[in-house]
Structure 1
Amino acid sequence: MIKTAIRSTILLFILLGFFGYSQDKKNFSNIPTILQQIIPNDRIDSWVLVYNSYGKNQEIRTSGGKKDYTPQFSGFNLFPSEDSFYYIAYFTGGKMNYITDLEGLKKFVGKIDNAEEAAIVLTTEGYMVDEEFKDVAGNYYEDPANYYLDLGKLTSKECPYQKTHFTLTVNKSSGAVSKIKDNGTYIELYNKKCANNPRLLKIQKKEEPKDEPKKSTQRK
């Protein structure tokens, strides 16, 4: 009887701990911090993560002995931006190599080691950490088996411009996405050129001429 009670108590604490662990949501801080969490799976002698803004290079992270590299004029972004980009210069096998696109970044990351790497890999499928709306599209929680990431996605560049947020379940062992939950649109922007702009439709409705009352004809 006592053993049964002890086992039940232990099981209860395990379940409570599991539930608390899985529901502890954390916001991703920012894009540079996410990229700094990369743990390459291939053997790399040294590498440097560079941020280029308006033509100026800034080294965000260096790992291993520093080697001379050639500044790049294009790169990748985890969040859409026209004025800046990132690139990685890495030295292996006696040769300097460069990563300037998301597919190359995905290969460099390799096996997913943390939630930040999961977010990085998912950018190759159009998802993004939206730094302006972290509560809906820039956070995650985890349990022993999976990462659960809330990320945004640009679902329309036409009228209206839309962003939708999703919850993606990523298996820690395989890195595979086992579930995608659509949480709906969190940004919907119209402009003057949008034919389906609700505000424009209201204005047009107000400007529509009212039907003039029919004049009654009097018999003489």
Structure 2
Amino acid sequence: MTLYKSTFFSVFLFLGIFVFSQEKKKFANVEGVLSNILPDHQTADFWVLVHNSYGRNKEIKTSGTKKDYTPQFSGFSLRPGEDSFFYIVSGKGDKITYISDIKDLKGFIGKIDNVEEAALSAVLEGYMIDEQFVDVAANHYEDKNNYYLDLGKITSTECPYQKTHYTLTVSKATGKISNVEDHGSYMEVYTKNCKNNPRLLKLEKKEEPKDEPSKQPTKKRR
């Protein structure tokens, strides 16, 4: 009986740990993801994450002893369609480097150290952390070997504008995407200019003139 209870408890504990490990966590926002970059110490003695929105710079994070730098007027965007951008200032010795092109994030991140860096590596492959649809395209979980990321991607800018969501498996050992599951579109937007807009097609169908019955001449009474 004692052995049975012990075995039952072990299985229950294992299942509890397994379920807990599969629980998805949400990416709060792209600022939080960028703030969790862990660059190699050989790359930077200090670094500053700056967000520029409508021409105003705001320092989101400072790591290390900040040195004077020149504010930038361009950068990389993680929010398509928004009038804002990010850039990173990093310093090593007397050298100051500005990261304003998203492709340069790869060298700054270096080895994938956490789930945020895994998400950014996927962003470099064309995926997006969709803050508007967190439940389907901005969350994650992990196990001993991999990070599992639910992210979005703009799959059409034509009619309709479309986003598709995926689950990406990123290896903790190599930092590479080892598997991609396509879950289909989760957003479609038709504009007034879309000829294939279902609503407009319905309206056009309703407005089609119907054939009126020919009128018979009225007979005059005598």
- What TM-score results when the alignment is normalised by the length of structure 2? 0.88
Render the CA deviation track for 1:59-94: whole Å, top value 9, x for unaligned.
111111110111111111222144111101111142
Structure 2 unpaired stretches of 5+: 217-222
Amino acid at match of 1:127: Y
Amino acid at match of 1:30: N
Cross-structure match for 2:35:
36
Render the CA deviation track for 1:82-115: whole Å, top value 9, x for unaligned.
4111101111142101100111112111111111
Q: Any conservation in 2 of the 1:21–1:143 contact (CA below 8 Å)?
A: no
SS in 1 for 2:209: coil
Counterpart CA distance in 1 for 2:58 and 2:215 is 78
**Alpha-carbon distance, 1:209 to partner:** 2.0
Cross-structure match for 2:193:
193
Counterpart CA distance in 2 for 1:195 and 1:13 is 57
Q: Any conservation in 2 of the 1:42–1:108 contact (CA below 8 Å)?
A: no
Q: Any conservation in 2 of the 1:21–1:142 contact (CA below 8 Å)?
A: no
SS in 1 for 2:136: helix
Counterpart CA distance in 2 for 1:46 and 1:207 is 65
The equivalences for 1:14-163 within 5 A come to 15-43=14-42, 44-163=44-163
With 17-26 and 187-196 compared, the bigger mean Cα shift is at: 17-26
**Alpha-carbon distance, 1:12 to partner:** 2.8
Q: Any conservation in 2 of the 1:136–1:165 contact (CA below 8 Å)?
A: yes
Amino acid at match of 1:143: D
Amino acid at match of 2:205: K
With 125-134 and 19-28 compared, the bigger mean Cα shift is at: 19-28
Counterpart CA distance in 2 for 1:14 and 1:96 is 51
Amino acid at match of 1:86: F
**Alpha-carbon distance, 1:3 to partner:** 8.7
The equivalences for 1:147-186 within 5 A come to 147-186=147-186
Counterpart CA distance in 1 for 2:169 and 2:64 is 33
Counterpart CA distance in 1 for 2:28 and 2:197 is 34
Aligned length: 215
SS in 1 for 2:91: strand
**Percent identical residues:** 59
SS in 2 for 1:40: coil
Counterpart CA distance in 2 for 1:90 and 1:213 is 79
| Pair 12,22 (structure 1): closer, same or farther in 2 beyond 3 Å | same
Counterpart CA distance in 1 for 2:96 and 2:4 is 62
Counterpart CA distance in 2 for 1:10 and 1:114 is 32
SS in 1 for 2:178: strand
Counterpart CA distance in 1 for 2:16 and 2:111 is 27
**Alpha-carbon distance, 1:58 to partner:** 0.9
- What TM-score results when the alignment is normalised by the length of structure 1? 0.89
Counterpart CA distance in 1 for 2:214 and 2:167 is 59
